[in-house]
Chains A and B, each alone.
Chain A
Amino acid sequence: MAFTLYSLLQAALLCVNAIAVLHEERFLKNIGWGTDQGIGGFEEEPGIKSQLMNLIRSVRTVMRVPLIIVNSIAIILLLLFG
């Protein structure tokens, strides 16, 4: 599995890409994980589901632009070095 640090980096990049391509309207809303459906009350205990939704939303917001850059670099490196 995690043979080298480089393969770990590749796996992480693929996972973050997977989170970034989740479509808001067609998919997340249909399974009840939309960004406007989670923020319920302000109880003391958020619960795993709302934490996950928060995580997905923040990853998608924060990593939009850096992902473009990192993906381009990965594509160029793979084209050059195989």
Chain B
Amino acid sequence: MAGPPRRLARSPQVGGHEVRDLELRGVHGAGMPASKRRVPVSQPGMTDPHQLFDDTSSAQSRGYGAQRAPGGLGYPTASASPQSAFLGDPVSNMAMAYGSSLAAQGKELVDKNIDRFIPVTKLKYYFAVDTMYVGKKLGLLFFPYLHQDWEVQYQQDTPVAPRFDVNAPDLYIPAMAFITYVLVAGLALGTQDRFSPDLLGLQASSALAWLTLEVLAILLSLYLVTVNTDLTTIDLVAFLGYKYVGMIGGVLMGLLFGKVVYYLVLGWCCVSIFVFMIRTLRLKILAEAAAEGIPVRGARNQLRMYLTMAVAAAQPLLMYWLTFHLVR
């Protein structure tokens, strides 16, 4: 059966483009021309800030187009020659066509319904990162003292994608840091002979529960203080997820060099995260006047300042609480 594997062979893909390419692949089954779903761009080299990911379709479209042109009408005519050799009778062709159209309809239904509960398109914005952004952001998380301008650049009312502005929040670093934290916790427990596989799940669940609790507490206090901010829930999750980077650093250093180094590195990361959160949240929570550096008096601004300080102070506490039992 050399047919199916060859038909499902994938052209080489770079990591960040997989989401879009899967979309294009789904379009294939529905019979729509592929050009409708492609993001319009002038040249492959230029990336305008409107699109989140680089468009490599011009490089891959030749490969796709050759496969798609016969496939546009449906599976019976799209069967490549190796398949038609052993699927000669039209009944199985019809059955395959019917099955594939059912699958395509099901996929469209699922996509439509999922988009109602989880805003997939909004989530894609948070994963539009590149290596330079990740490097700069990690540097900012460990050393935020020299960075001057913390404003997020806007472009026609929507914030610019993270790859173009180092101040924009992203979900890639928090997600990766969370997973790495769970793995490092397993490693730390293993070096102390306390490891068992269900402990990994327990660590992950515990960290996730703390994160959820934090998000709910901050949302509640934002509601009570009636702050009109554009701080969305996903933004908040992103900001609160940045502390995992410091936690990983502390635990790894503690594993390598001992408890004193763990405390030193954790202390450094705690202070850095504290400064980072204050400088980031100040622009989001406090009023515009305070963002320019002028301390505005008044009960409301004072409450907001306390709220920012409380959120920032909770980060070092949680960083210590979630890691101190890992380094003995």
Residues of A at the B interface (CB closer than 8 Å) are 2-5, 7-8, 45-46, 48, 51-52, 55
A78 and B117 CA atoms in complex are apart in Å by 29
Q: Is the interface of A mostly helix, strand, loop or mixed?
A: helix
Nearest chain A CB to B19 CB, angstrom units: 27
List residues 207-239 of chain B with CB under 8 A from any CB of chain A: 208-210, 212-213, 223-226
B-side interface size class: 10 to 19
Contacting pair B223 A55 (CB below 8 A): yes
A39 and B213 CA atoms in complex are apart in Å by 30
Of the A-B pairs whose beta carbons lie under 8 Å apart in the complex, a sample of 10, sorted by A's number, is: A2-B206, A2-B209, A2-B210, A3-B202, A4-B209, A5-B205, A5-B209, A8-B209, A51-B223, A51-B226
Contacting pair B209 A45 (CB below 8 A): no
Other than the known A4-B206, A5-B212, A8-B212, what 12 A-B pairs have Cβ atoms closer than 8 Å?
A2-B206, A3-B202, A3-B205, A3-B206, A3-B209, A5-B208, A5-B209, A8-B213, A45-B226, A48-B224, A55-B223, A55-B224
Residues of B at the A interface (CB closer than 8 Å) are 202, 205-206, 208-210, 212-213, 223-226, 300
Q: Is the interface of B mostly helix, strand, loop or mixed?
A: helix
Contacts of B212 in A (CB 8 A): 5, 8
Contacts of B205 in A (CB 8 A): 3-5
Among B205, B206, B209, the most chain A Cβ lie within 10 Å of the Cβ of B209
Contacts of A4 in B (CB 8 A): 202, 205-206, 209
A19 and B209 CA atoms in complex are apart in Å by 22
Nearest chain A CB to B150 CB, angstrom units: 27
Among B202, B205, B210, B225, the most chain A Cβ lie within 10 Å of the Cβ of B205
Nearest chain B CB to A25 CB, angstrom units: 25
A7 and B205 CA atoms in complex are apart in Å by 10
Contacting pair A52 B209 (CB below 8 A): no
Q: Do A45 and B300 contact each other (CB < 8 Å), given the known contacts A4-B202, A51-B223, A51-B226?
A: yes
A48 and B202 CA atoms in complex are apart in Å by 37
Contacts of A46 in B (CB 8 A): 226
Contacts of A8 in B (CB 8 A): 209, 212-213
A44 and B225 CA atoms in complex are apart in Å by 13
Contacts of B300 in A (CB 8 A): 45
